[in-house]
């Protein structure tokens, strides 16, 4: 739901009534992950998606029904080959959809926070006693919360702790806790949706390849910074799509700026006087990805220089170099695509191999690769 929060926040401000259908659980090769949402207002306007088209019509009707009767329901959609006209997922997966009317409570506050890019987590009961279904808690980074899940007085505190932990990690997903707030009571399933600022992509080196990578980074939802020590190259005219352009020695900027476990660092300078001090610092930071551009000869020379300044083999193992996946890229745009593909594969746990003829899952259900995997392109 938070993916379409800006538009839904406008609906709240306009006084429009609406219902939201949210994916709360998936199985098999489902097209969307928990948190994906479709909203329908009283005039029949719809935004968002829960399945990429397979069951949108049926979910649309469920939203209209929720607007009429005010009830929260959970509906399961799966694949059925017995009836060609049955509503289901052609991909063979299974999704559970929570449908709830929005009328007061903490949902409008959660939408306002997400629209303002303010960090917050929304926890909703998606499995448990019928009278508790859809109840919500809005949790702030400091641990304070509003709303309530009902039931045992310890339930809200435990749910807030779980939601805050997921907020700190920038994750959306489900957690199970006991109905009494312990781990022993009758289980409840909570969907926790985290609203966090966009992850950062820092591109070092104001070259033509960087311009293409900035555009792709923005497309993937990153807040993109370009950093270069040369003011003649690091200009808004050359990088109109960048959120920020910094003229500074790369390693000095990295030491002074904010990073987190979702930050990706793309080093495109392929110049030892910039690369070595920058990578010496970067390889010791808890970021999601580090890649460095250069030929294989450049890579070997750079690794030698890094070892000479004390970078360990374990630290070097984090470096993706040459940066990107092997797509046979030649142009700046193709190279940017290969880098972006490696970043996505690293984040989602993909192999980067062709799906044609493979027997690996299309969607990876396991945890993403640990923060700190790093990379580079020839």
User: CA-CA distance, 197 to 184, in Å (whole number)?
Assistant: 35
Q: What's the whole-number average pLDDT of the chain?
A: 85
Q: What is the pLDDT of residue 81?
A: 45
Q: What is the pLDDT of residue 219?
A: 93
Residue 366 in this model has a pLDDT that exceeds 50:
no
Cα distances (Å, whole numbers) of residue 86 to 30, 37, 75: 17, 22, 15
Q: What is the pLDDT of residue 362?
A: 60
187-195 and 173-178: which strand pairing?
A: antiparallel
187-195 and 120-127: which strand pairing?
A: antiparallel
User: CA-CA distance, 89 to 282, in Å (whole number)?
Assistant: 44
Q: What is the pLDDT of residue 369?
A: 36
Neighbours of 57 (CB within 10 A): 9
Q: What is the pLDDT averaged over residues 259-288?
A: 93
User: CA-CA distance, 364 to 370, in Å (whole number)?
Assistant: 14
User: CA-CA distance, 139 to 239, in Å (whole number)?
Assistant: 37
Q: Read off the pTM.
A: 0.68
Residue 370 in this model has a pLDDT that exceeds 90:
no
Q: What is the pLDDT averaged over residues 203-218?
A: 95
Contact 54/88 with Cβ under 8 angstroms?
A: yes
Q: Which residue has the higher pLDDT, 6 or 91?
A: 6
Q: What is the pLDDT of residue 52?
A: 67
Phi-psi region of 152 (alpha: psi -120 to 50; beta: other; left: phi over 0): beta
Q: What is the pLDDT of residue 120?
A: 92
pLDDT in tens, 282-329: 999 999 999 999 888 998 999 999 999 999 999 999 999 999 999 999
Q: What is the pLDDT averaged over residues 346-356?
A: 83
Residue 374 in this model has a pLDDT that exceeds 60:
no
Residue 371 in this model has a pLDDT that exceeds 60:
no
Q: What is the pLDDT of residue 10?
A: 93
pLDDT band, very low/low/confident/very high, at 13 (cuts 50, 70, 90): very high
pLDDT in tens, 152-188: 778 899 999 999 988 887 888 888 888 877 766 678 8
Tokens 């949108």, residue located: 56
Residue 202 in this model has a pLDDT that exceeds 50:
yes
Of 67, 142, 160, 172, the residue nearest 106 (C-alpha): 160
Contact 71/19 with Cβ under 8 angstroms?
A: no
Lowest mean pLDDT segment, chosen from 17-31, 64-78, 270-284: 17-31
pLDDT band, very low/low/confident/very high, at 83 (cuts 50, 70, 90): very low
Lowest mean pLDDT segment, chosen from 1-15, 44-58, 118-132, 352-366: 352-366
Q: What is the pLDDT of residue 31?
A: 58
pLDDT band, very low/low/confident/very high, at 279 (cuts 50, 70, 90): very high
Of 48, 44, 23, the residue nearest 34 (C-alpha): 23
Cα distances (Å, whole numbers) of residue 81 to 25, 53, 95, 96, 361: 22, 18, 16, 19, 21
Lowest mean pLDDT segment, chosen from 92-101, 246-255, 261-270: 92-101
């Amino acid at each position: 739901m938070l993916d379409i929060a800006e538009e839904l926040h406008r609906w709240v401000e306009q006084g429009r009534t609406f219902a939201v259908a949210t994916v709360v659980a998936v199985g098999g090769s489902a097209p969307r992950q928990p948190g994906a949402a479709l909203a329908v207002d009283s005039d029949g306007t719809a935004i968002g998606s829960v399945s990429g088209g397979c069951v949108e019509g049926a979910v649309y009707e469920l939203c209209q029904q929720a607007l009429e009767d005010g009830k929260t329901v959970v509906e399961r959609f799966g694949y059925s080959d017995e009836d060609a006209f049955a509503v289901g997922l052609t991909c063979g997966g299974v999704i559970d959809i929570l449908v709830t009317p929005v009328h007061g409570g903490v949902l409008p506050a959660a939408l306002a926070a997400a629209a303002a890019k303010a960090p917050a987590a929304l926890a909703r009961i998606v499995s448990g006693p019928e009278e508790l279904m859809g109840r919500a808690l809005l949790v702030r980074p400091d641990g304070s919360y509003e709303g309530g899940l009902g039931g045992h007085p310890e339930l809200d505190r435990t749910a807030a702790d779980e939601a805050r932990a997921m907020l700190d990690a920038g994750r959306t997903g489900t957690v199970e806790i006991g109905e009494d707030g312990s781990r022993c009571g009758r289980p409840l399933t909570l969907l926790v949706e985290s609203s966090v600022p966009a992850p950062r992509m820092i591109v070092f080196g104001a070259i033509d390849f960087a311009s293409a990578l900035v555009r792709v980074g923005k497309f993937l939802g990153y807040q993109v910074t370009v950093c270069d020590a040369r003011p003649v190259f690091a200009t808004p005219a050359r990088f109109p799509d960048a959120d920020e352009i910094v003229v500074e020695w790369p390693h000095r900027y990295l030491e002074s700026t904010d990073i987190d476990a979702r930050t990706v660092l793309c080093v495109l300078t392929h110049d030892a006087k910039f690369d070595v001090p920058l990578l010496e610092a970067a390889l010791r930071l808890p970021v999601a990805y580090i890649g460095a551009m250069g030929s294989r000869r450049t890579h070997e020379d750079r690794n030698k220089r890094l070892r000479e300044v004390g970078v360990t083999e374990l630290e070097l193992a984090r470096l993706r170099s040459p940066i990107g996946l092997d797509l046979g890229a030649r142009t700046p745009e193709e190279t940017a695509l290969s880098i972006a593909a490696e970043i996505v594969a690293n984040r989602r746990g993909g192999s980067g191999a062709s799906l044609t003829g493979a027997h690996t899952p299309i969607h990876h259900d396991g945890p993403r690769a640990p923060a700190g995997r790093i990379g580079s392109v020839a």
